Chain A
């Protein structure tokens, strides 16, 4: 860090990402509240524990191999080999993956991506509550959090990713690379896992299992909104010079950029975040006829739909795109539930998956012809590229691996909890040893008092 400007830029960038990470922690807090509120009383603590343990398991695996995948996979396997040189500094035994005075960025940048990983896993977590074994779910948490979303980020959320270069793929705030893939992954698990006991009646008609605590659910979703601000900021490079970008941008004006190093501003994404949130809330209120659960979730789905292009949209465009995505997601949720008997307990496939896919497709039309990169030789944003991108995110890297792994777990009998325990509630399992210990203590006390009475 020689020179005052260089030092200031470095420390600002380090602190910037650090702040986004702290904000993004609220996403996980929100998901925990949301998921527990949606579960029934008999499953509370188990539901909470299932989500909380995402934190250490995804963190350790993202340290061990997830971060390395991001840097080595941008062109692998279709357009080149693993980029081992780029991966070298991001291996778990690299000197920059620890306390190092010559590197102020790797740790905070790693953490920003890690929080995205927690989010991807947490999205899947909510949809499978009340019947999946924790051990089975945590394998999925690692796969979506430290493997598959990271591959999609290397391909489509990296300035040199092949999807950006060849397809003109554009997904500034992760409609596809976080939300569509996580929604697709959740659907893949749900297809094999099956519904909760009692979700469908004997005629196959879905019953409503309402959240046990709508108030806490609202607090949870507000936490997620708040963390989403941090997520948006974390997706940007806060300040960079054209010389450092070393692309086609001329002049000496420093700028904020998105992950592809194309220019945007914090001001722009603040406009669009709030307008797409508003569009989502308003559309969800109307389409669900004021249902609280869907209205809150609709705000989130509105942001998710517009996120692919929220670095460039006009605020009114963000509002309308957010609204359109919510209507599609809501209709698709009930269509898939009716048709395929899919029990998505929190609507995660709709809010994240369908909204993300719709957002990518819409952005292909609205941003048609816009340069996807500051570098020469990249395809411009276009509808076909965005559609293919959506299919890759939702289907190829989301649904397919989830479906295959879940099938294996199912065939081994390690996927779903026993029926008797599902009916009794998962907290029964965790509380049983404590209850037995308490009963044992009571028995000892009774025996002792009987002996005392006999002596006296």
Chain B
């Protein structure tokens, strides 16, 4: 078993094309990439909102650090 499709390098390299793992699952990997990218934006936007709100409250009432 080999995740790249080759178990040994006794091959003619002229016949070799892709050698990355899990060939055939490129579209699934792309979908995972898109979810990772868009998910990052969502998480970052929420974190930024929290920070902004926290800073605004702290600036409005510096004594309140809870």
| A residues neighboring B (CB under 8 Å) | 1-2, 57, 60-61, 63-64, 92-95, 98-103, 133-135, 138, 414, 417-418, 420-421, 424, 428-430, 432-433, 436, 439-440
Contact = CB atoms under 8 A, between A and B. Distances in A.
Give the interface residue-count category, chain B: 20 to 34
14 contacts: A1-B14, A2-B14, A60-B33, A95-B17, A98-B20, A99-B20, A101-B13, A101-B16, A101-B19, A102-B16, A420-B60, A421-B56, A429-B54, A436-B65
A420 B18 contact: no
A135 B58 contact: no
A95 B18 contact: yes
Nearest to B58: A432
Contact of A134 (B20, B34, B36, B48): B48
Nearest to A103: B17
A432 B54 contact: yes
Nearest to A432: B55
Given A60-B33, A64-B34, A432 B56 contact: no
Contacts of A429: 51-52, 54-55
A60 B55 CA distance: 31
Interface in B17-66: 17-20, 23, 26-27, 29-30, 33-34, 36-37, 41, 44-45, 48, 51-52, 54-56, 58-60, 65
Nearest to A95: B18
Query: Which of B16, B23, B48, B54 gathers most chain A CB within 10 Å?
Result: B48
A61 B41 CA distance: 12
A93 B51 contact: no
Contacts of B54: 429, 432-433
A63 to B, nearest CB: 8
Nearest to B44: A135
B37 A420 contact: no
A135 B27 CA distance: 28
A102 B17 contact: yes
A64 B17 contact: no
Given A421-B56, A430-B51, A433-B54, A92 B30 contact: yes
B60 A99 contact: no
Nearest to B19: A99
Contacts of A63: 33
* Closest 6 A/B residue pairs (Cβ): A93-B26, A429-B55, A99-B20, A101-B16, A92-B30, A102-B17
Nearest to A440: B65
A1 B23 CA distance: 23
B13 to A, nearest CB: 6
A118 B9 CA distance: 38
Contacts of B20: 98-100
B17 to A, nearest CB: 5
- Chain A interface mostly: helix
A439 B37 CA distance: 35
Contacts of A433: 51, 54
A102 B19 CA distance: 10
Nearest to B28: A93
Contacts of B56: 418, 420-421
B34 to A, nearest CB: 6
Query: Which of A61, A93, A100 gathers most chain B CB within 10 Å?
Result: A93
A432 B33 contact: no
A145 B14 CA distance: 36
B23 to A, nearest CB: 8
Contact of A100 (B18, B34, B36): B18
A233 B48 CA distance: 40
Nearest to A430: B51
Given A64-B37, A98-B20, A135-B41, A93 B55 contact: no
Contacts of B59: 420-421, 424, 428
A57 B39 CA distance: 12
Nearest to A139: B41
Nearest to A134: B48
A60 B36 CA distance: 10
A100 B17 contact: yes
A64 B33 contact: yes
Given A57-B37, A429-B55, A432-B51, 7 more contacts: A64-B30, A92-B30, A95-B26, A418-B52, A421-B59, A428-B55, A433-B51
B41 to A, nearest CB: 7
Contacts of B52: 133, 417-418, 421, 429
B46 to A, nearest CB: 10
Contacts of A64: 30, 33-34, 37
A93 B27 contact: yes
Nearest to B36: A60
Nearest to B55: A429
Query: Which of B23, B27, B29, B52 gathers most chain A CB within 10 Å?
Result: B52
Nearest to B54: A432
Contacts of B14: 1-2
